[in-house]
Amino acid sequence: MITKRIIPCLDVKNGRVVKGVNFEGLNDVSSPIELAEYYTKSGADELVFYDITASAEGRSLFTDILKETASRVFIPLTVGGGINSLEDFDRVLKCGADKVSVNSGAIRNPDLIRQAALRYGSQCVVLSVDVKRVDGEFRVFGRGGRDDTGMEAISWIKKCVDLGAGEIVVNSIDTDGVKGGFDLEMLKAVCDVVKVPVIASGGAGKKEDFTELFHALPGVDAGLAASIFHFGEVDIRDLKNDLRENGILVR
């Protein structure tokens, strides 16, 4: 049977890994390449690189780092951040990315998902969505969680899957950085409507949060986190042993 995936996420700015709590107050953590190699050896199933630089220099620094990482790490790599066009897909795929994740770029132009899926296949197109509760509904936020788009999240996700998104990263802004566990209610609402893999993001603070996630929601395929891995609060090898002991199939 297919295993549940554990995915560390590396936010990269000017060639360094950063992680903020609730997207603010970023701290420099480590070298992306070293961290990627460390995680791969520890049993990470996949790595996500988010480019959070805005400048052209930062962008070319990012592709250099991506290339270097993809030359040393032989597990799937997903890249996101600043993906607004097919040229952006092309740029990161040529550097060794296997999947490309779109967020604000898809909000601005949903057809990007359709075009990218046609050219590269749905398996290559990941929709990443930042979701927050507003007025009793799940609302899509853009620009790194700063802008309320006014769109209802579940119908947005459904629309993107129909357009060709092959995987969904659901990041709960409400639980992100709080370390009190994943947003099970939000994730369940997503799992109920899509048949593509769902990756849970936002809220993991300890190993048990992952066990709870996979037990409560068998439809969730992977758990993604950043700071708890970067700061050594959760060791991926320990986490996987724990999951195994709890009857969850992992690699």
Residues at the interface with other proteins (CB under 8 A): 1-3, 5, 40, 45, 70-72, 74-76, 93-96, 98, 121-123, 166-167, 195-197, 221, 251
Instruction: Tell the smallest beta-carbon distance from residue 116 to other proteins (Å).
Output: 13
The least CB distance from residue 78 to other proteins, in Å, is 12
CA dihedral of residues 190, 193, 196, 197 (deg, nearest 10):
30
C-beta of 15 vs 76, nearer to other proteins? 76
Distance between CA atoms of residues 216 and 230, nearest Å: 26
Catalytic, 130? Answer: yes
Which one, 52 or 95, has the nearer CB to other proteins? 95
Whether 28 is catalytic is no
Of the pair 146, 244, the CB lying nearest other proteins is at 244
Residue 219 near residue 191, CB atoms below 8 Å? yes
Q: How far is the CB of 169 from other proteins (least distance, A)?
A: 14
Nearest Cα to Cα of residue 96 among 120, 113, 78 = 78
In the complex, the smallest distance separating the C-beta of residue 6 from other proteins, rounded to whole angstroms, is: 10
Among the options 51, 88, 130, 176, which is catalytic?
130
Q: Dihedral through CA 56, CA 60, CA 61, CA 64, nearest 10?
A: 170
Which residues pair with residue 172 across a beta bridge? 131
Q: How far is CA 216 from the centre of its chain?
A: 20
State in angstroms the smallest separation of the CB of 155 from other proteins: 21
Tokens of 117: 């899926």
Read off the tokens for 39. Answer: 């995680």
Name the amino acid, one letter, at 194.
V
The answer to whether 149 and 141 are in contact (CB under 8 A) is yes
63 in helix, strand or coil? helix
Q: Which is nearer to other proteins, 195 or 245 (CB)?
A: 195
CA–CA dist 55, 11 (Å, integer):
15
In the bound state with other proteins, the residue whose beta carbon lies nearer, of 35 and 151, is 35
Residues tagged active-site: 11, 130
